[in-house]
Chains A and B, each alone.
Chain A
Amino acid sequence: MTEPGQGKARRRFVNWFLGTSLGALCVSVVYPVARYISPPDVPEAQTSRVVAARDGELKPNEGKIFRFGSRPGILVRDADGGYRAYSATCTHLNCTVQYRGDLEQIWCACHNGFYDMNGQVVSGPPPTPLEVYTVNVADGDVVVSRA
């Protein structure tokens, strides 16, 4: 014969055991699913130097987008013929900017943000300046590198 108190204790144990087993089952299902849907970190090869264009490819007061690793960069040839390069990712909401020759400014079409030729914000919602890259011309190539 089992004592009534002992039966209750046994039931409590069974309830606890089944309850926690159910919890463990849920965790063992939910955790892998949650980890699965969150994408893994894929290490990106850091590009620090790239040939953005051939010298003479751009006319004065013209710009072009080039690949800087996995992100876009923008190369601008100013009215005096000098080269400048920046990250082409708008600091507001990540759109790709373009050069506006009529205004001699860099423009983001998404939310009407304007940057000057130093990458500084002139107007619109961008909160910070564009990252500025270093430009050198070597052997007829316009080489852009991270400062």
Chain B
Amino acid sequence: MNGAAGGSAGKVGAWLEERLGLSVLARFAREKSVPVHRHTIWYYFGGMTLFLFGIQVATGILLLLYYRPSEKEAFESVQFIMTAVPFGWLIRSIHSWSANLLVFVMFAHMFSVFFMKSYRKPRELTWLSGMAMLGLMLFFGFSGYLLPWNALAFFATQVGTEVAGALPLVGDFALRLLRGGDQVTGGTLTRFYGFHVAILPALTTVLLGLHLLLVQKQGMHVPEAIEAEQKRSGEPPKVMPFVPNFALRDAVGWCAALGVLAVLAALFPWELGEKADPFAPAPAGIRPEWYFCWMFQLLKMLPGHVLGIEGELLGILGIGAGGLLFLLVPFLDPAGGSPWRGRLFTIFGWVALLVMIALTAMVYMPAGGGR
């Protein structure tokens, strides 16, 4: 029996091989290896982000089967998913929790790449495509947040799009482009739905393909300090085969993430809140998703005017300048540059990270709300 089955499988394999030439990929997988050193753990964060993105695609498609993107029906359709559709609460909760974990893991991935200086030549394009995807993921989060059409989401969108509207020169165009008019209305909801389920996935697919291709082409980066240590010791650099050693370790992490998601979704189902009413005041204690909280807190702390400039505009320009420094770091801190410049960017990264953590913590402190 086994022999016959093996024979048929072999025939199918040979048939496919003639047409697709998959043996090239198999050889690549066999030969691919991953460096082993004290920072190897950070290599898992990219794969984890990919896994969580897969969860988002799968659960997102399932939510599409019942969701209705209109001002009149959006809230009710999510309520229907949560209360009437079998396991609807689970699918929606996993989608929401996974989105949050995805952003967290993606930030961890970005900062680990930043501090290991893996953005340097020849990986500039890998960094740029990754940063573009970070932007897309944040936009995924922002657009998806509005879709249940609840009060918190309504005002978060009001504020978020107003922030885009405060940009110099392109502000007005960006605001109307995002809102689909001058106000946040049902038209904005339909537009955000279009962004969330069509435009952003299409862009992400292209960038993700490029990013993964570049990672495969260039292999994993070993931090310079580790490389120097290896040279000094005179021993050959330690590596592990990608298949099966690294892939299996990846799979363990993915199983753990799935377990965490299941526990979070089951014990803390994602709340739906109150339906949005454009003619109700913003509810007390309003705040955006945690990953936008540092911006929210900064905009809250800045006074109306600083040195004659509107505080809000100053904050937005500051955040934009910081983001631009991050984006362009491969060109501002290239390989072979002076060591002080490298150290300066490391300090900049730590300061940015600590400021973001401190501002986020302030939002969650008990005094963060009203007076």
Query: Chain A: residues with CB nearer than 8 A to chain B?
Result: 37-39, 42, 65-67, 70-72, 74, 88, 92-98, 103, 107-112, 114, 121, 124-128
Contact = CB atoms under 8 A, between A and B. Distances in A.
B159 A95 contact: yes
Given A111-B299, A112-B371, A127-B312, A70 B305 contact: no
Contacts of A126: 304
Contact of B281 (A93, A109, A124): A109
A109 B286 contact: yes
Contacts of A94: 158-159, 162
A110 B285 CA distance: 8
B241 interface: no
B203 to A, nearest CB: 14
Contacts of B179: 39
Contacts of B285: 109
Nearest to B296: A111
B342 interface: no
B299 A93 contact: yes
A109 B284 contact: yes
Given A65-B280, A94-B159, A125-B304, A107 B370 contact: yes
16 contacts: A39-B177, A39-B187, A65-B279, A71-B183, A92-B299, A93-B159, A93-B162, A94-B162, A96-B279, A109-B282, A109-B284, A112-B369, A112-B371, A124-B304, A125-B312, A127-B304
Interface string B298-309: 011111110000
Contacts of B304: 92, 121, 124-128
A103 B371 CA distance: 10
Contacts of A103: 371
Most buried by B among A42, A70, A98, A127: A127
Nearest to B288: A110
Contacts of A67: 279
Interface residues of B, number: 36
B303 A96 contact: no
Contact of B282 (A96, A114, A124): A96
Interface of B: 155, 158-159, 162-163, 173, 176-177, 179-181, 183, 187, 278-286, 296, 299-305, 310-312, 369-371
A111 B162 contact: no
A37 to B, nearest CB: 6
Contact of B158 (A88, A95, A124): A95
Contacts of B278: 72, 96
Contacts of A124: 300, 304
A93 B286 CA distance: 13
Given A39-B176, A112-B370, A127-B311, A70 B183 contact: yes
A114 B177 CA distance: 30
Given A93-B159, A96-B280, A121-B304, A127 B310 contact: yes
Nearest to B304: A127
Nearest to A127: B304
Contacts of A88: 281
Contacts of A96: 155, 278-282
Given A39-B176, A112-B371, A92 B312 contact: yes
